[in-house]
Amino acid sequence: QNDLTKAVWNINLSTSARLRSSSALESEYLHKSILPTDAFQASLIRLPIPALEKTCQRYLNSQEAVLDPAAFQRTSEIVKRFQEVEGKGLHEKLVAKDKAHKHTSYISEPWFDMYLKARVPIVLNFNPFMTFNDDPKEGYNQQLIRSTNMIVASMMFMKTLRAGYLDPDVYHLNPKKSDTESFRKIMKYIPNKFRWYGAYAYKAFPLDMSQYPRLFNSTRIPRIGKDELFTDTSARHLLVMRNGHMYTFDVLDKNGMIVSPTEIMSHLQYILSDTRPPPDYPLGYLTAENRDTWAVVRDKLLDAGNTEQLKMVDSAVFALILDDDIPKDPIEVSRLHLHGNGANRWFDKSFSLIMTKDGKTCVNFEHAWGDGVAVLRYFNEVFKLTTEKPFVHPDTQPANVDSAAAVKKIEFHLGDNLKQAISEAKSRFDHLVNSLDLGFTTTEKFGKNLIKEKKLSPDAIMQLSFQMAFYKQYGKTVPTYESCSTAAFKHGRTETIRSATMATKKTCEMFEKTGNRPSVSELQGMLKACSDKHGQLTKEAAMGEGFDRHLFGLKHIAETEGMPLPELYTDPAYSYINHIILSTSTLSSPAVLLGGFAPVVPDGFGVGYGVQDDSLGCNVTSYPPARDVQEFLRCVKQSFDDIYEVLNDRDPKK
């Protein structure tokens, strides 16, 4: 009791001291934006439902690149019937349903269902990771220093968001004109309902922020058939995992003030100095289970008297995962950040910050609740704040507080049945992650600058490199997915850019031709054709004008209304084009070092890639022997070299 009183007294003392020394705004919030966080939310435009004819045509254009001529002919006929008969009825129903649900988008519900009804483990199948660059300052990457700084920055982000102070997400086409104070001030005076149009006049596109409330205090709860998302904003504690053990401590005090950085540091030091051996039955493995299996085990955990324990885990602001590893290369970093050893993870949390002993840190996130845009905003703000205005430094001493009292270790009651469930989950997890191979490649020969100089799109060239690599390795063009955000619309999620096109297919063939080589200017012409086509598909996808989500939405209508599935969906070509062999995603941010995800099918590649001014790089995964990722990476490197030669007026094969 005495210790507890002392701890509480110390905490109160230091909080009030901090309040006296600096204004609450500076120490508790990232900023106070001129516009409230939800300034544009009410006026966001709605995700369009494309015209059925356009969807059918886009679908066929994409099929043509991956089907042989006979199969393409059959599919064209099926699509024609779909467009004239069953598709029409479904489309009308989808449009009517969308009209009746103006507060959201037609894709929101089916997309949540897609994630939450999936029964496969979320690790590898869904959770991606994004690794932060190192802190450029010497000493700040030590685990204790960096984790303290990241917790405080995260809490400031959370508070800024909850107070409505977080500057709204806006995609600025002309940042000089619109990413300005005067733009924000003008917007403020436009009534809520019309603000979007005001921004549009400046070529500024406000983004949907409806996913943000699920960033903190949230988790995915396994349920039979369909999981649930859970959020409890009243919780003030953090979940820390180390060595398979779970701990919590408050990061906000009773008044909602952020606990002082040196106290947080003391608590973390206390956890880091815990020398007990790892638990025999770490529960984290369960979150990597098949979702129905996990749902049953979770009920058994509750029956065994672990209600409070699970509540602490589920409601925690987020999970901080402290690993003892010191990875020796980017491959080891990627492995730790994508899956780790499973004992020291809780994949269900909306996101975890995973940090190695030497401070290599990532965000690994559960995907059902949200997409890259919200996560990347949090990621960028935390990186900026921790590197520019850190709260603790290599010479900072932890506060002299009673961390033994403030830190609670979560202990679970486990009967034999639960122990067995954990052992089974562990062996399945080990088997799953051991079957994954990964690697990366980069080129420093060129990057965004040269590609732009040649009036080509850097993203299109990257996508073409993957097409060329696959063609070099396997001699064909396969279904390819590039993720594109539709956050410019209310409750938008993503659309697919189908980056395997007739143009890329032809280009692959021309580059590989041995006899009767095309001229360099012909190859340059092909790069341009690929770039233009890709640019068009990207624009369309970002405007909600792809075909994937529309066809998906129509299928969802048929399923939910118990209607027979039109032949378009039972056509093997539909399954084929949705069996994504090349799944790709990119993000550009000065804060990102690495990122990636596993393949979405057993015989696919998972390609995370980045484009820098003077370099290109990708991080790729596969399940051997179905796909050989190391050979694929050699082919990607060769493709970079080939393209580089052509950009410099040389034939790579001569």
Binding footprint of ligand BUJ on the chain (CB under 6 A)? 128, 130, 371-372, 440, 442, 483, 494, 583, 585-587, 592, 594-597, 600, 608-610, 617-619
Q: Which is nearer to ligand BUJ, 178 or 586 (CB)?
A: 586
| CA 121, chain centre distance (Å) | 16
Q: Which two tokens stand for residue 233?
A: 């904003």
- Residue 10 or 364 having the CB closest to ligand BUJ: 364
Q: Smaller CB distance to ligand BUJ: residue 261 or 595? A: 595
How long, in residues, is the chain?
654
If the CB atoms of residues 554 and 594 are measured against ligand BUJ, the closer one turns out to be 594
Please give the structure tokens belonging to residue 44. Answer: 């966001």
CB of 501 to ligand BUJ, least distance (A): 18
**For ligand BUJ, the closer CB: 406 or 616:** 616
Q: Which is nearer to ligand BUJ, 187 or 620 (CB)?
A: 620
For the four alpha carbons of 532, 500, 587 and 139, in that order, the dihedral sign comes to negative
Tokens of 122: 């979320």
Q: How far is the CB of 203 from ligand BUJ (least distance, A)?
A: 25
What count of Cα atoms within 13 Å lies in the side-chain half-sphere of residue 190?
A: 20
The residue (of 282 and 546) whose beta carbon lies closer to ligand BUJ is 546
Q: How far is CA 245 from CA 278, 323, 483, in A?
A: 7, 11, 36
- Smallest distance, ligand BUJ to C-beta of residue 175, A: 22
Closer by beta carbon to ligand BUJ, 18 or else 291: 291
The answer to whether 323 and 259 have CB atoms below 8 angstroms apart is: no
- C-beta of 595: minimal distance to ligand BUJ in Å? 3
Handedness of CA 116, 120, 123, 129 (dihedral sign): negative
Q: Which of 367, 534, 550, 556 is catalytic?
A: 367
579 is catalytic: no
Closest distance to ligand BUJ from the beta carbon of 347 (Å)? 15
Q: Of 247 and 605, which CB lies nearer to ligand BUJ in the complex structure?
A: 605
**Cβ 365 to ligand BUJ shortest distance, Å:** 8
DSSP string for residues in 236-266: -EEEEEETTEEEEEESB-TTSPBPPHHHHHH
Vertex 355 angle, CA 351 and 361, to 5°: 75
In eight-state DSSP terms, residue 493 is: -
CB of 509 to ligand BUJ, least distance (A): 27
Residue 152: strand, helix, or coil: helix
Cβ proximity of 28 and 156 under 8 Å = yes
How would you write 15-47 as a 3-class SS string? HHHHHHHCCHHHHHCCCCCCCCCCCCHHHCCEC
Adjacency order of strands within the sheet including 480-485:
437-443, 616-622, 605-611, 582-586, 480-485, 494-497
83/584 with CB nearer ligand BUJ: 584
Alpha helices (H) along 345-496: 372-388, 403-406, 416-434, 448-453, 458-474
Q: What is the spatial distance between Cα 215 and Cα 185, in angstroms, rounded to a whole number?
A: 28
CB of 415 or CB of 602, closer to ligand BUJ = 602
Cα 583 to Cα 269: distance, rounded to the nearest angstrom: 40
Distance CA 569, CA 572 (A): 8
Tokens coding 526: 């092909």
CB of 586 to ligand BUJ, least distance (A): 5
Least Cβ distance, residue 633 to ligand BUJ (angstroms): 10
Going by the DSSP 8-state scheme, the letter that residue 490 receives in this structure is B
Are 333 and 608 within 8 A, CB to CB?
no
Question: Shortest approach of ligand BUJ to residue 95 CB, angstroms?
Answer: 23
Nearest to 651 by CA among 546, 535, 516: 516
The residue among 491, 482, 479 whose CA lies nearest residue 553 is 491
Residues near 194 by beta carbon (within 8 Å), at least 6 away in sequence: 43
Residue closest to 97 by CA, chosen among 557, 630, 643 = 557
The span from the CA of 32 to the CA of 25, in Å, is: 8
- Rounded to whole angstroms, the Cα distance separating 567 from 408 reads 57
Coil/strand/helix, residue 121: coil
Give min distance, CB of 485 to ligand BUJ, in A. 8
Q: How far is the CB of 376 from ligand BUJ (least distance, A)?
A: 8
Query: Would you say 477 or 583 has its CB closer to ligand BUJ?
Result: 583
Structure tokens at 561: 């209304």
Sign of the torsion angle spanned by Cα atoms 166, 381, 450, 632: negative
CA 268, CA 143: separation in Å to the nearest integer? 10
- Asked if 140 and 360 touch (Cβ cutoff 8 Å), the reply is no
Active site residue ranges: 367
